[in-house]
Structure 1
Amino acid sequence: MEALYADCRLASIQGDTEAGAALAEEARASAESLGSPDADALASYACGVLALFSGNPKQAVTDISHAFEVFRPEDNLLRHVWALNHLGLAYHQIGDTSRAIACYEESLSITEPLGEIVYRGRSCWNLGLALWSDGNQARAKSQLKKGLTLARLVDDPFGSAWCMEVLAWIAADAKRYGHAAALMGAVQTLLDEIDTPAIRVLGMTANHEECARVSKLQLGARKFDTEFKKGAKLKISEATALALDENPPVTVPSNQIGPSLTKRESEVADLVAQGLTNKAIAAKLVISIRTAQGHVEHILTKLGFSSRAQIAGWVVEQARNVT
């Protein structure tokens, strides 16, 4: 039953509604034969995700809500978080942004205390989108930047694309049309690389097209195309830095030795990459907060960075080079 549910969920997210429908029907039949509340909840969840990604959000709310009532008393926090995020997306699609926001905030209340990254990032992306729709652009931008930073930590191009897409809309709203065009170009490159329709399925197409229309109108077609192409040529690390309004990431040519951190600085950099504050780093390493702050400042100076997020990206890049 778990395998059927997982297959149906993945097929639906990937836009293969025909396969998803067949798997959902099989899941329903299996749940009936098993007579288990858990199996019934998994089947309902599978059907709900199928409904969400095939354009029937009202049915998605019904099915996923039923599943969540069964999941809630359980200790399986991953199911809780999945259900809350998909339920939030369904509520958003029917225009109930307050309930959508509540779902994402509940998801964050589970993931944040655990220091989890992947699903916390997804909750931030979804919360940012809902807040933007609700007119709260400042908080939306903050959540999307958090989500993008977390996506960078785990090398998640889909999450990066989702965040950059909505940040492009926010840039256009703020009349930063060149910035919006560049981000849209970066998003297009990411979507081409990961080949997923999900970011367009969830009602984002109209907003995307409106952002492009307004930006092109204000910049002129030639300038818009120039900025779009600039964004499309960026590496994901460069596009992320652009979206976060950071200085361009410092890269070390492959034929040169990179900046050298002490053993302690390397430990601190790893903890920064995990999202720990100076206070948490101090507790972890049994040092004073002032000492932890000093290490972070030395790392920033050595690497030529201006933010902790850039340290996190550098740590990820170093780990990738080692492997």
Structure 2
Amino acid sequence: MALEAVMDKFYIEQLTIIGVGLIGGSIAARLKREGAVGKVVGVGRGRKNITFAHEHGLIDEVAMDVQKGIERATIVVVAVPVKQVETVLQEIKLSPNSELILTDVGSTKGDFKRIIERVMPERAGFIVPGHPIAGSEKVGPQFADANLFQGKNVVLCPLERSKATSINLVQRLWESCGSFVSKMSDDKHDKIFSAVSHLPHIVSYALVEMVNRRDDAEDLFDFAAGGFRDFSRIAGSSPEMWVDICRANHFPILDDVESFISSLEKIRELLRSEDYEGLRKIFDAAAIARNNWSSKQ
């Protein structure tokens, strides 16, 4: 494997990114800036994104074919939409490059683990699922940012058979991007991010949809200001991607939707009974929790 340690500095000869969008492009930009990679190969079937990434120096080489792109790779980062992951892994499975290390950037990990078990269990030792907690509602390599992961969390969910050397290499990749790396089970990961990422997107979509279907929607949007803008920002994210996430993390999200509905029902009953003291207690508890969290960011 083409891996070197120069004064303990992370360095790999070739990184292959399958799906050079915001996340993949930002990984490439940071590692190239750090001098942590010899060559970055971008794999993609969408000519527009891959061409942009090449022309703007995010990647050094374009491969329209997965096999071609990974034949000399040290690490392969799968950064494609959820519904494309299994097809990509089927192609990676055929590679004679048996020691390439594989990771991903998806926000659901249980489904990724199940696909690995179904498609390529024999390579499990070289696979380390990952999730960078960074991003934007914007997509595409034109928004790539070498500082996107600086000071941000990255969660690794190693498989039972992931080798220590594989885990270490993927961890060092993310640390080279400026990230703080933690490890947890895929089950714990999916429950956490259902509550603090997936549910908020669903609620944001639901709010905008509710406003948009009202008869006075035009007036509502005309007078909406900062609060609505902040709350609804993530409703500008890719609907296709978020439907795929809902499918992949179905049960944890369903549990959290039910819990959220219960909270709304409690507020509804307090409003109906004009129990404003009860309402204040809920708002106080939420404000304290939110401010405590914010102070640690």
- TM value normalised by structure 1: 0.33
Higher share in strand: 2
Higher share in helix: 1
